[in-house]
Amino acid sequence: MSIITLRSELWHPLFVHFPIVVTVLSLLLFIGARLFKNSWWQTSAQVFLYSAIFLLSLALFTGDFAEDVVKRSLCDVRTLHEHEEHAYQTLYFLLTALAANISIYASKNYWPQGKNILLTLEMLGLLSANISLVITGHYGSQLVYEQGAAVKNYKADCTKIP
């Protein structure tokens, strides 16, 4: 099968695993940057944070294609909406961490004592994004394993869904 003929609902799982790994690594690299006070750790944490935002946006974009296809075959569409809401929430937390990260460098000369506040905000944004990411993955796995989302020729037993 050629990648060009890949069903549109399968593009989402193809791209969704990259932001999971990159988001988790950005948190770990941020913690390493705080512990080791090394510029390599800080630079790596920034690169992974920017990459996580880009990759999560790509996953959300492909998720819209998948939603259009799979929502017709689901027993409980609420799970799909919860999955999408938590994915956007993850993106908002990452954007909060990004805003704090940029503010650290933008306000270095104007508000030097605010660096600790901004570092705390960045850490809370990354931590919240990772927690939200776990919840998003939980709803995504419910869609696939309980309702057969994007599984061809699968008939979900809608009597088991509350």
- pLDDT level of residue 4 (50, 70, 90 thresholds): low
Higher per-residue pLDDT: 7 or 16? 16
- pLDDT at position 13 is 80
Distances (CA, A) of 67 to 42, 55, 58, 83, 158: 37, 18, 14, 10, 18
Distances (CA, A) of 23 to 47, 74, 85, 93, 131: 11, 29, 17, 11, 11
CB 130 within 8 A of CB 24: yes
- pLDDT at position 37 is 87
Is the dihedral angle over the CA atoms 104, 108, 110, 113 positive or is it negative?
Answer: positive
107-113 average pLDDT score: 78
Higher per-residue pLDDT: 150 or 39? 39
Tokens of 13: 């799982």
The number of beta carbons lying within 10 Å of the beta carbon of residue 120 is 11
pTM comes to 0.86
